[in-house]
Structure 1
Amino acid sequence: MYRTFLLGLVVCAGLLGVRDAHALLHDPIFGASFEAPTDLPANDAEAARFLTQATYGPTVAEIARLRAIGYSEWLRQEFNKPATAARPYMEAVNEARLADGQSGVSHNNRLDRWFHTAATGGDQLRQRAAFALSQILVISDQNSTLGGEPIQVSEYWDILARNAFGNYRELLDQVTWNPSMGKYLSHFRNRKASADGLRQPDENYAREVMQLFTVGLIERNNDFTPILNGGQPIPTYNQSVVTEYAKVFTGFNYNNATTISNGTNTYLRMKCIESEHDTTLKTVIGGSTIPAGQDCPSDVDDGLDLLFAHPNIAPFVSRQLIQRFTSSSPSSAYIQRVAQKFLDNGFGERGDLSAVIRQVLMDPEARNAPTANGGKPREPMLRLTAMWRAWDAQMPAADTYGNIAMGMNNPSGTFGQRPLGADTVFNFFEPDYQQPGAIADAGLYSPEFQTLNESTLTSMSNSYYTYSWNSYVGMSSPPSNRPLLNLAPLVALASDPTAMVAEVNRRMMYGSMTTNMQNVLRNMLIFMDGASAIDKARTVVYVTALSPEYAVQR
């Protein structure tokens, strides 16, 4: 079975001292050569556009680095950076607070850590990939149980980050056995049917692992187009398959507990209580069977292996990763090229996420000049992180417990999203959402627009004001609980409106600002002739952050 194969690789990996088992099949750390790079971005704008897609926002320093080493080497280095972990940070802050007689950490501390990592973390591509995966393999702190378990939820994020460039099959395994997922989709303490038949296994995880994590609802070609029979789509599975898979995920419970200082138990992996596991023969996806009499781990391995082997998984996962990085409405050819990398990374490995992400970012549809229907709306939180990074924001100092307050404790009410805080398992927005009007009429998709309404548009505008106009280095009374933009480069250009607009265009919009918008901003600055240099600087940044052009990445 696939898991047995991976286990052998893990043992070898430990002997050889490499970090990930999948690296033995395809290790990007040895991908560089001594030749001069031939894939350098042509200019700052091209570099910044790539970094807008691949990170939480370009910085001047990162643009320079990418232009010096080229795309391939940049990706190789990113693939081999270790994850910036959330859980150890949370545990350290929690211990310090409790030792001082304070309450333990909350999800506010988790969000502080997330935003700080997004703004300053060195593993930008890994963290962006984790963010993308968190919107496919969804858990949410809005669950009543997970709402009280911020450290455990942080561990789930770390699973996504650690496995962001690994194999999707291994990630599925770790997600399935994770107790936060078990509680969220209720296969934690899921029990086999009672002898009288009055109690049946919970079907929640069984349904969602198919519908949302692996194969979707209908059969697909590799380019994501539906496979038809008599003009009608073919269902991937039926209710009987859900019922049978529910039996696979029975018997789950806690492993041996590790106790942290506030007395809450945090568990890295569930185990199975075999007496509560259904050992009957199970007929699952595609009519395949899982033999009777197996223990729980073997049943789970077999069940996940069959989903991982299903033809749908490559286009299903690939399309959503494209949507989160580069394009809301990728062409069928784009999806097929990425799906092919999921099927075979070039070294015979299926499910290699590093190969998939490389293709997503380096595909011609991502790197060629943008088309009218290309690109995507920036996710609301990414508009904020990109602004921080564009202007080298100064981070707040840590408090006495080690926590760095970022001022974003409840971004859901402001932006319609927050990390690991979706309203439902279907994420903040659904991949097939089409905004009514011109986008839907053209047959295009626009998932990110699903969170926008009069309330969120107003609250986002107010938030960008808070984090630009009212948050910059040099204020007489700077806030201590949020990042401060370094607007010195703009202030130095305050006597030249054209140069100020050009600098904003370079840092925030990778040179994509239209001539009309440049003229509007320039005229605004000319009208502000009597204003101070800093007022001009923070005004042009704030107005740009509000603009429709900044809201869309091409």
Structure 2
Amino acid sequence: MTDTKIYSDDRSQCAKFLYRGSFGPKKGQIDLLQKNGFDAWFEDQFSVSPTYHLPKLKALFASSSYSRVQDDMRQGVWWQCVITGEDQLRQRMAYALSQLFVVSSHGVGSLNEGLANYYDLLVSHAFGNFKTLFKAITISSMMGQYLTLSGSKKHDPQTNTFPDENFARECMQLFTIGLWQLNKYGQPILDHNGNKIPTYNQDDVEDMSRLLCGWNINYTNWRHDWINPMQADNSQHDMGAKTVMGTHFPAGQNADQDLDAVVEMLFNHSNTPVFVAIHLIKRFVTSNPGLHHIRRVVEVFEDNGDGVRGDLKATIKAVLTDPDVFAGIAHGAGQGLKGEHQHFGLLKEPLIVVANQLRALDMQSVGEHWWDTQWAGVTYGQDALGAETVFNFYKPNDAPQGEIANLGLAAPEFTIITTDIMRRTHNRMWYNILKLNQTNEKDWYWDNTDFNDHSMGTTEYVALINERFFGGLMSKSLQDYMYKALSTHTSPSQLKIRFINAIYIATTAPEFFCEG
């Protein structure tokens, strides 16, 4: 166990911690963390009431004149929860889980109430048990629609039809165990010829589809129920015996029994703790996890200290408080300790970069409800539950060509941060900074009082920017650049706009897009 008290005395570690464990610190939160310590922060985050999306979406829709829930309503509510929610770790965890158990508007269309409810499922189970979460995901109506498990029927010799294999394959490949057998360090296990060993084969997929057929989205009063779980139809469930990855499922089991057995098998598979650990470390901490960091998180997933497997509360705490995190150690690709420090951290996703900016600004909505002002899918190349495929916005081991790929390292976020997306992101961040004195109830605004003191000198002003947007972590080179840029702001008219220019310089700097 890491003695977190040692690190809570270090203000820079507290700042780094909040950028990892939340959508960015607000004014005073770093000081509060340093005062109370990491354990108290976790206790607070585990106990604070969840912020749910669907009730806010329904309230927003009820206040509007639209005949159906709009996409920008759901996205606006997502930003509201991210910017204002007190349950920051839960919201970050839900976002990370949404990139593991992918459901997307690109596959189900504008079923916004169903999508908000699916996101709330992730929020609700974020600190629960992985087994319970996986079962809830499997029979979710939105997942049933997205990966076509709903309506999957047993083999019919008369029509030569077979159960749908879509979810059957993805629940193994993408949700729980991955393609290859792994050891506790996340490294592939090799056979006697030095080849990686597959976790499953096509026969396993086919029998898995037989195990999971016979589930349907409920249909009542001429409408599909996108909120409640799917219902079992045992007349369309294959009651025969099946075998998947060496596990035998006896004949005569109904849809519920086979589902429970599948969940139990995948939950207890040796790959599942490793697969989940790597995903969470990559989403919260570093694109190139240290091997011992992976192993230690795996061991917590396997046993939380009280004999419980799959405790997500204990798992995420292990992810964020591992000694490698505080030391800044990543997988060094054979470069040694120096290389491990060089490779620690990650390129932030655009949504997280902008969330950091908006929380630092303490952005508010003019009206009672939050409408989307970011148009994230177009602007940032990603939005909540908006991945173009079930493989998420990028694959976990993606790397740009050049030095990163040549070193055998990963930096998957580069996949979406193209030149055009960077241009759009910078423009929208400038637009966010200009959100002052707004009156349209659909708009957002922030209070610039702290930044509008014309008596502050350049040094004092850069220190304020450093504290509010970087938690004091701004590099000396960026500070020097800002001193130089702001030294020309001397006339009264220039002083009025210097806070806008300074914030733009800070939040579009490369280091604002990185975490380490």
> C-alpha separation between the residues in 2 aligned to 1:376 and 1:183?
33
User: What is the match of residue 495 of structure 1?
Assistant: 456
User: What is the match of residue 305 of structure 2?
Assistant: 346
> C-alpha separation between the residues in 2 aligned to 1:493 and 1:305?
63
Asked whether 1:207 is paired with 2:152, we answer no
User: 1:91 is matched with which residue: 48, 58, 61?
Assistant: 58
> C-alpha separation between the residues in 1 aligned to 2:264 and 2:24?
37
Contact 1:493 1:499 in 2 (8 A): no
Contact 1:417 1:428 in 2 (8 A): yes
Structure-2 change in CA distance of 1:190 and 1:369 (3 Å): closer
Query: Secondary structure at 1:550's aligned position in 2?
Result: helix
User: 1:63 is matched with which residue: 30, 50, 54?
Assistant: 30
Contact 2:217 2:226 in 1 (8 A): no
Residue 494 of structure 1 deviates from its aligned partner by: 5.6
Aligned partner of 1:212: which letter? Answer: L
User: What is the match of residue 488 of structure 2?
Assistant: 527
CA deviation profile, 1:52-88 (whole Å, cap 9, x unmatched): 0001110123223212211001101111222111112
Structure-2 change in CA distance of 1:208 and 1:186 (3 Å): same
Residue 173 of structure 1 deviates from its aligned partner by: 0.3
> C-alpha separation between the residues in 1 aligned to 2:304 and 2:5?
22
Structure-2 change in CA distance of 1:494 and 1:139 (3 Å): farther
User: 2:288 is matched with which residue: 301, 326, 329?
Assistant: 329
Q: After superposition, where does 1:13-412 map in structure 2 within 5 Å? A: 38=5, 41-97=8-64, 102-143=66-107, 146-196=108-158, 198-229=160-191, 230-255=193-218, 257=220, 265-285=225-245, 287-368=246-327, 371-398=341-368, 403-408=369-374, 410-412=375-377
Contact 1:107 1:147 in 2 (8 A): no
User: 1:424 is matched with which residue: 384, 389, 401?
Assistant: 389
Aligned partner of 1:281: which letter? Answer: A
Query: Secondary structure at 1:334's aligned position in 2?
Result: helix
Residue 216 of structure 1 deviates from its aligned partner by: 0.2
Residue 534 of structure 1 deviates from its aligned partner by: 3.6
User: What is the match of residue 335 of structure 2?
Assistant: none
TM-score, length-scaled by structure 2: 0.93
Aligned partner of 1:249: which letter? Answer: L
Contact 2:83 2:359 in 1 (8 A): yes
Contact 2:219 2:225 in 1 (8 A): no
Query: Secondary structure at 2:105's aligned position in 1?
Result: coil
Aligned partner of 1:53: which letter? Answer: R
Contact 1:487 1:534 in 2 (8 A): no
CA deviation profile, 1:276-307 (whole Å, cap 9, x unmatched): 0111111102x111111110000011112111
> C-alpha separation between the residues in 1 aligned to 2:268 and 2:122?
21
CA deviation profile, 1:110-157 (whole Å, cap 9, x unmatched): 1000001100001110000000000000000111xx213110111100
> C-alpha separation between the residues in 2 aligned to 1:493 and 1:257?
63
User: What is the match of residue 338 of structure 2?
Assistant: none
Contact 2:141 2:225 in 1 (8 A): no
User: What is the match of residue 509 of structure 1?
Assistant: 470
Question: 5+ unaligned residues in a row in structure 2: which ranges?
Answer: 330-340
User: What is the match of residue 337 of structure 2?
Assistant: none
Residue 384 of structure 1 deviates from its aligned partner by: 0.9
Aligned partner of 1:347: which letter? Answer: D
Residue 197 of structure 1 deviates from its aligned partner by: 5.9
Query: Secondary structure at 1:289's aligned position in 2?
Result: strand
Contact 1:491 1:537 in 2 (8 A): yes
Residue 258 of structure 1 deviates from its aligned partner by: 9.0
Query: Secondary structure at 1:283's aligned position in 2?
Result: strand
Q: RMSD across aligned C-alpha pairs, in angstroms?
A: 1.9
Contact 2:53 2:119 in 1 (8 A): yes
Structure-2 change in CA distance of 1:264 and 1:237 (3 Å): closer
Contact 1:116 1:406 in 2 (8 A): no
Query: Secondary structure at 1:549's aligned position in 2?
Result: helix
Contact 2:5 2:38 in 1 (8 A): no
Structure-2 change in CA distance of 1:363 and 1:258 (3 Å): farther
Deviates more, 1:532-541 or 1:241-250: 532-541
Contact 1:493 1:500 in 2 (8 A): no
Q: After superposition, where does 1:451-466 map in structure 2 within 5 Å? A: 451-466=416-431
Query: Secondary structure at 2:35's aligned position in 1?
Result: helix
> C-alpha separation between the residues in 2 aligned to 1:112 and 1:61?
26
Contact 2:287 2:411 in 1 (8 A): yes
Number of residue pairs aligned between Structure 1 and Structure 2: 500
> C-alpha separation between the residues in 1 aligned to 2:454 and 2:196?
59
Contact 1:406 1:483 in 2 (8 A): no
Residue 436 of structure 1 deviates from its aligned partner by: 1.2
> C-alpha separation between the residues in 1 aligned to 2:422 and 2:7?
38
> C-alpha separation between the residues in 1 aligned to 2:439 and 2:495?
18
Residue 365 of structure 1 deviates from its aligned partner by: 1.8
Structure-2 change in CA distance of 1:485 and 1:45 (3 Å): farther
Residue 243 of structure 1 deviates from its aligned partner by: 0.6
Query: Secondary structure at 1:421's aligned position in 2?
Result: coil
> C-alpha separation between the residues in 2 aligned to 1:93 and 1:200?
43
Aligned partner of 1:385: which letter? Answer: A
User: What is the match of residue 447 of structure 1?
Assistant: 412
TM-score, length-scaled by structure 1: 0.87
Residue 435 of structure 1 deviates from its aligned partner by: 1.5
User: What is the match of residue 8 of structure 1?
Assistant: none
Structure-2 change in CA distance of 1:268 and 1:534 (3 Å): farther
> C-alpha separation between the residues in 2 aligned to 1:361 and 1:46?
11
Residue 316 of structure 1 deviates from its aligned partner by: 0.6
Question: 5+ unaligned residues in a row in structure 1: which ranges?
Answer: 1-36
Asked whether 1:547 is paired with 2:509, we answer yes
> C-alpha separation between the residues in 1 aligned to 2:429 and 2:60?
28
Deviates more, 1:265-274 or 1:290-299: 265-274
User: What is the match of residue 332 of structure 2?
Assistant: none
Contact 1:57 1:385 in 2 (8 A): yes
